[in-house]
Structure 1
Amino acid sequence: MADKDSDLFFEEMGDVKPLKSKDKANLTVQQEITPGHIVRRASAVTEKVVDDNHLTSTDHIEMLSSNDVLEYKQAGIQHGVYKKLRMGRYPVEARLDLHRMTVEEARKEVFRFIRDCMKYDLRTVIILHGKGDRNPDKKALLKSHLAKWLPDMDDVMAFHSAQKHHGGTGAVYVLLRKSENDRQANRERHGLR
C-alpha cells in the first residue's frame, strides 16, 4: 500500500522544479490601512494604563537601617492580638519575597499581593524585604518604602518585624483586615448582630 502512495506522490510532483537561488518568493502582504487602524495605533501609543495603585515610590522617605524594627498597629487593635502577631504566633498564610526587586517592582508587587490576600480572605502574611546589608550605604531601601506603604493601605491592620526564624528584621508580619464574610461568621459565632 505504501508503494502505491509514493508512486502517486511522485506522479503528481513529477513536473515540479526547485526554485533557483535567485528566485525568491514574495511573502509581504499588502494590508489596507483603514481609519480604524490609525485610531487604534494612536491610542495604543498615547493611552496610559490606569494604575489604581496609590502607593508611591519617592526619594523623600525616612531611610531605615538593617537592624531597625518595623512596627505599626491601627487604633482598636487589641494588645493581645498585636503581641501574638509580633511573636509570630499566627500561621503565615502567604509569603511575598521582594529580594532583588527594584523599588518600583516592589511597589507593584506589594499592592497586588495585599489585594490578592484580601480576595482570598487571608489574615496573616509575611513580606520578605531583606535587610539592605549588601547595599554600599547599608540603608534598607525596600524596608524603608514598606514602612511607608503598609500604613497607607486600608486593609493593613498591623505589622511588625518578624522573629529570627522567619527572617528577623529582613521580613515583616502583616495582619490584614477581616473580610466581610469573616466578620459575619464571627458575629454569628458569638451571637452578635
Structure 2
Amino acid sequence: MRGKEDSVGDDDVSLFAQEVADIKPLKKSEIYLRKKGPQVDFHERQSAAIMVTEADRNHLTHDFVEKVDPNDMLEFKRAGVQDGVFKRLRQGKYGIEARLDLHRHTVAQAREQVYQFADDCMRNDIRVAILVHGKGERTPDPDNRAMLKSYVNKWLRDLDQVMAFHTAQRYHGGLGAVYILFKKTEKARLDDWEKHQKR
C-alpha cells in the first residue's frame, strides 16, 4: 500500500501532464532564431566589441606629460638605429609613405588616432611616415599651448613600433610635424634578405 505522500506526488504529475498536453515543442531552428524586441544588428555589436578591444590595448597615457614649447625641436632614436639612417630621416630624405594630421583633434581623439596609425603602418609595411601635430602656439590658454605636441613627444617614445622620430623640415611642416621611422616588419626583413641573396 502506498503512503499519502506517494499519492500526492502522482496527482501533481497527472495535473502537470494535463496542463502541458496542448503545448508543441519548438523546432531547433526556431529556438535559436526567435528574439524578443527589435531585430539585433550583430555586425554593429561586433564592430563595437572590436573598438572596445582596441581601446583596451591602447597603453598610451592620457595623464600629465612633460610639456614642450611650441618652438622646441623633437628628436628620439632607439639604440640600434644607425646614425646615417637617423640623419637621413632628420633631413627629410626618405620618401613619406603615410601621413596623419591631428589638427582640431582633442587629446583623447589624438591618442586613439596615433595608436591606430602606428598599428596600420606596421600592418602595411610602412617604414617612414609624417605626423602633423601643430605647434599649438595660437591657443588662447597659455597652459594648453603645444599640448598635442607634448603628448605626441611622449606617445611616440612609448610605441615599440617607432624606432626614431624627428621634427620635420620646414617644407613638410617644420616645428608642427615629425618624421617617424617605423620598425621593419618580418615580411620587410625577408624581402630585404631575398634581394641581397639575388645580388
For the criterion TM > 0.5, the same-fold answer is: yes
How far apart, CA to CA, are the structure 1 residues paired with 2:62 and 2:176?
A: 19
Residue identity matched to 1:187 = W
- Aligned residue among 118, 134, 152 for 2:122: 118
Q: Is the 8 A contact 1:65 1:132 kept in 2?
A: no
User: Are residues 139 and 181 of structure 1, via their aligned partners in 2, closer, same or farther at CA, if it must alter by over 3 Å?
Assistant: same
Where 2:52 maps in the other structure, the secondary structure is coil
- Aligned residue among 139, 149, 156 for 1:135: 139
1:107-152 CA deviation, whole Å, 9 max, x = no partner?
0000001101111101000000000111131720001001110011
Question: How far is the alpha carbon of 1:32 from its aligned partner?
Answer: 5.3
1:154 and 2:160 correspond: yes
How far apart, CA to CA, are the structure 2 residues paired with 1:183 and 1:155?
A: 14
1:105 and 2:109 correspond: yes
Percent identical pairs in the alignment equals 52
Question: How far is the alpha carbon of 1:187 from its aligned partner?
Answer: 2.0
How far apart, CA to CA, are the structure 1 residues paired with 2:161 and 2:146?
A: 24
- Aligned residue among 140, 165, 170 for 2:171: 165
User: Are residues 70 and 32 of structure 1, via their aligned partners in 2, closer, same or farther at CA, if it must alter by over 3 Å?
Assistant: closer
1:41-68 CA deviation, whole Å, 9 max, x = no partner?
xxxxxxx933211111112x11111110
User: Are residues 58 and 32 of structure 1, via their aligned partners in 2, closer, same or farther at CA, if it must alter by over 3 Å?
Assistant: closer
How far apart, CA to CA, are the structure 2 residues paired with 1:131 and 1:116?
A: 25
How far apart, CA to CA, are the structure 2 residues paired with 1:89 and 1:152?
A: 25
How far apart, CA to CA, are the structure 1 residues paired with 2:196 and 2:155?
A: 34
Q: Which residue of 2 aligns with 1:174?
A: 180
1:41-100 CA deviation, whole Å, 9 max, x = no partner?
xxxxxxx933211111112x1111111011001001000000000000001101000001
How far apart, CA to CA, are the structure 2 residues paired with 1:170 and 1:49?
A: 31
**Segments of 4+ moved more than 3 angstroms:** none
Relative to the length of structure 1, the TM-score reads 0.72
Relative to the length of structure 2, the TM-score reads 0.70
Q: Which residue of 1 aligns with 2:91?
A: 87
Where 1:64 maps in the other structure, the secondary structure is coil
Where 1:172 maps in the other structure, the secondary structure is strand
User: Are residues 32 and 72 of structure 1, via their aligned partners in 2, closer, same or farther at CA, if it must alter by over 3 Å?
Assistant: closer
Q: Which runs of 5+ in 2 are unaligned?
A: 1-34, 41-50
